[in-house]
Amino acid sequence: MPLKLGQSAPEFRLADQIGKIHTLSDYRGQYLLIYFYPKDDTPGCTTEACGFRDLLPKFSESGLTVVGISTDTSKSHEKFAAKYGLSFTLLADVEKKTVEDYGVWGKKKFMGREYMGILRTSFLCNPEGKICKIYEQVKPADHPSEVLRDLLVLHGSAS
């Protein structure tokens, strides 16, 4: 069943790029963007990650923590983060439990071929861990600035 606005985000327990375990409850008390992306070091995923990296100071000022999740390994995340100077958390869902819990594991098509993979989707969670915005069919180049705009509106400081 798809996740809905106002619903509690599903709990997770995943290792980051250096092997440290993170859970959803670790982020209680702050806004959290959980963005799901298909694969480390691919063009769209790199564009999206670097966009988040570049806006990280503004997200931090607004009290938002950014966390990326894919089914790549922690080692792959470590290389990806080092190569592009990504200073936010990347979580490894190698067992695909979290992507399934969030409903972002599904059928994709590329060049006439069908396969299962991560549907590029993000969830903005409030400090209580409730979903306050769901971004589907995300455009990698535009998504980071879209999230920042929405965050500014949430805080009543849109200009």
Whether 125 is catalytic is no
Sign of CA dihedral 94, 99, 101, 106: negative
Residue type for position 62: S
> Pick the catalytic residue: 45, 50, 125, 132?
45
The residue assigned the tokens 């590329």 is 110
Residue 120: partners with Cβ closer than 8 Å, 6 or more residues away = 36, 37, 38, 44, 48, 137, 138, 140
Q: Looking at the annotation, which residues are catalytic? A: 45
